[in-house]
Amino acid sequence: MIDLIVDIVFALLAVLSAVWGAFVLKKLIALNRRYKRAIVLIPLYKRSKWPIFALSLLGLCLVGDIVYMIVKPGDWILTLSVLVIIGMLASVLVAMILTKCAVLDSGAIVPFRFIEWARFYDYRIEGTTIFFIGDDRGFDTMGAATGKLDFDEANLDKLKFILEKYKNR
């Protein structure tokens, strides 16, 4: 009875992760399309290395799932559900790694979202690092501020000019 409940729970988790993964992948693909179609004024570079670390950890989980599949061959629902979950997480992480950030002619692509110039509020530059603020609540809210992004120091004046032009203060 417990095995049946575990199989049902993991099957539902696999379905939920597939739906969630498809939704996130659709958004990331749309960001990549927007990047390819727009005029890139200044490229920005993500500083975080955690998606690569998480992808490595998922690789270890995949190996563990395959070993479990070999050791206990009769438990297909559980192992295939875990395989689907790992696959969806890995595909989302790969899409996150491949998504590029930049200041475009129509707005800014920051990690995993697009800020249109009409919704752009403020920014802060420290050396060759920038982060954007999406609304008037500033740095007090996690949803408003982006993570730190790097840019080429040669583009500093151009970046300040563009962002001051569109700043909604």
DSSP annotation string for 40-79: EEEEEEE---HHHHHHHHHHHHHHHHHHHHHHSTT-HHHH
Q: What is the pLDDT of residue 88?
A: 96
pTM of the shown model: 0.82
Residue 152 has pLDDT above 60, yes or no: yes
Token pair recorded at residue 80: 């295939």
Q: Are 124 and 130 in contact (CB under 8 A)?
A: yes
Q: What is the pLDDT of residue 145?
A: 60
Lowest model confidence (mean pLDDT) among 108-117, 123-132, 140-149: 140-149
Residue 16 has pLDDT above 80, yes or no: yes
Higher pLDDT, 97 or 120: 97
Place of tokens 């575990």: 6
Q: What is the pLDDT of residue 139?
A: 47
